[in-house]
Amino acid sequence: MKKSARTLLLASALVAVALPAIAQQRLVINSFGGVYEENHRRLVIEPFEQMHNVTIEVVTLYSADTLAQLRAQKDNPQFDVVHFSGGQEVVAAAEGLLVPIQPSELTNYDQLYPIAVEGIEKGHGPVYSISVAGLLYDET
């Protein structure tokens, strides 16, 4: 997926899940820190803030910590948008911690790869990133 398409997908997903919170002019999201967060701020967060006249507060947490906070704050969560890195979205959706995104809320839904939207009906949200992981082992 090209960088501009990936950015559009991220922005579209952010808009879809954040519309109620945009009215309050402040969104709270999680991020993973490091280079991921630097690029996310530059390519998604800053353009989104300018486009929608909203301030985005980024809380740096790993996925497991975000899930723990969602559980602890179930009745009054601090987050408007969350990112998970592998599996926690399934658990959070099953526990009723996520508001499902409707395909009709994504203006570019028909342009997305099937893998990006296969979990939407289950409340998992759209996939916006795929990464490679290496497997290492000791032969000795």
- Interatomic CA distance for residues 58 and 135, integer angstroms: 31
Instruction: Render pLDDT for 66-94 as a digit per residue (tens, 0 to 9).
Output: 999 999 999 999 999 998 887 899 999 99
With cut-offs at 50, 70 and 90, classify the pLDDT of residue 1. very low
Containing 58, the helix (H) or strand (E) segment is strand 55-60
Instruction: Render pLDDT for 29-69 as a digit per residue (tens, 0 to 9).
Output: 999 999 989 999 999 999 999 999 999 999 999 999 999 99
Q: Are 70 and 93 in contact (CB under 8 A)?
A: no
Domains of the chain and any CATH numbers: 3-122 (3.40.190.10)
- Which residue is it, tokens 């790993």? 62
Q: Are 26 and 53 in contact (CB under 8 A)?
A: no
Q: Which of 19-28, 41-50, 101-110 has the lowest mean pLDDT?
A: 19-28
Is the whole-model pTM more than 0.85? no
